[in-house]
Copies of this chain bind each other. A is one copy, B any other.
Amino acid sequence: MDFSGSHILSIDQFERSDVEKLFSLAESLEPYSNKEKITKVLDGAILGNMFFEPSTRTRISFGASFNLLGGSVREITEAGSSSLAKGESLADTAQVLSGYSDIIVLRHPDEGSVRKFSESSRVPVINGGDGSNEHPSQALLDLYTIKKELSQNSKTVDGLKIALVGDLKFGRAVHSLCKILSLYDNVKIKLISPEELRLPEKDTQLLQSKNVTLEETENLEEGIKDVDIIYVTRVQEERFKNKDDAKKYKGLLSLNKEIYTANCEPNTVIMHPLPRDSRKHANELDSDLYENPNLAIFRQADNGISIRMALFALVLGVEDQVEKTSRAVNWHVTRDH
C-alpha cells in the first residue's frame, strides 16, 4: 500500500509487506535518530500534535521525531479542549485544526474518535491512541524492537516464541501487538495473566484463525521458559471500574533477576511498553534487572523515534528525499544507545 497522504488509524491497515517497508525506512533513519546526521527534509512543514488526553512521552516522542525531520510542531496538551466545552463537534474541530498544519497526531480518550476526526480532516491523521482501542505506532515500535533484538541472536519474527505478561485484558499495546504478530509465520504466544485479566476472546480467536499457537497460564515461572521475548505490562488501573479491584492484581506477576535466571534462556529479551510501575506493591519488572543486557525497555522507547520518523516520512511522501538535505552533526553527542 502507498501510505502517502493516508491516515494511519489502525494496525489493521498494515500488511506484512507494509510493515517491512516501514521497518526498512526506519532503519535507514537511524543515523538521524542516533544523531550521526541531521536532515531538513520537512523544513517548513508543521505537525499538529493534538493531545486531548495527557501522555507526556508519546507526545514528546512524536514531536521530537518531527523535529528530527526538520519540521515545526504546534501542540495541544490540555486534557479538555475549550472548544469542545463550548459544544463544538469533533467534525468541526477536525476541519479547523486541519487548516493549521500539514499532518496531525491525535490522542483522544474516546474509542473511535480518531477515525471520526480523520473523516473531516483535510490533512493526514495519525492515531496517537484513542481510549483502549488503537495505538498503532506503539505496536509498530514493539515489533520493530522484537525484530532488532532477535536479529542480534540470528533469529527472525517468523518462528518467534513470546510471553505476554500481566494485564492482557485492558492493555491496548498487547492487543495491537497480537494483531501485528499474526502477520508472521509460526508465532507461538504464551499468555500469562490472572484469570480475570485474560486476553479477550475476540483476540484469541483472531490469533487462532491466523495459525498463531497460543498457550495460557497464570504461572509466571512456567510461562517464561523457552521464549525469545518476555513482554511485561502494567495493570491498567485507570481502566478498572473499581480501582480497588485493580489493586489485587498488582504484584501478582513480578519478574525479577532470580526468576529470570532460574527460568529463562540466556538471551531472552525483556520488553515493556512503559511506564512500568516501580512502586513496591506493583513492581512488575524489578530494578535488579537494570544491568541485564537483555533488558530492552529503553531501546524499545528509543525505537519509537525511528518508527515515528518513518511514519511521517511515508505519509508525507518524502522517504526518498531525506538524504538530500542531510549533513553532519556539529555538536558534542553524549547519547549512548
Residues of A within 8 A of B (CB): 4-5, 35, 38, 40-46, 48, 54-57, 60-61, 63-64, 67-68, 70, 72-74, 76-78, 81-83, 86-89, 91-93, 95-102, 122-124, 234, 274-279, 282, 287, 298, 301-302, 305, 315-318, 321, 327, 329-337
Contact = CB atoms under 8 A, between A and B. Distances in A.
Contacts of A123: 334-335
B87 A335 contact: no
B67 A72 contact: yes
B102 A331 contact: yes
Say what secondary structure dominates the interface of chain A. loop
A92 B287 CA distance: 10
Given A98-B335, A102-B333, 6 more contacts: A4-B332, A5-B334, A46-B64, A96-B298, A99-B298, A122-B336
A314 B62 CA distance: 28
Contacts of A93: 275
Copies in the complex: 3
Contact of A55 (B54, B82, B282): B82
A64 B57 contact: no
B78 A54 contact: yes
A88 B78 CA distance: 22
B83 A275 contact: yes
Nearest to A83: B275
Contacts of A61: 100
A275 B100 contact: no
Contacts of A4: 332
17 contacts: A38-B44, A44-B68, A46-B67, A46-B68, A56-B76, A56-B83, A61-B100, A63-B74, A64-B100, A67-B74, A72-B72, A87-B276, A88-B276, A89-B278, A96-B298, A123-B335, A318-B330
A57 B274 CA distance: 31
A74 B38 CA distance: 17
A111 to B, nearest CB: 19
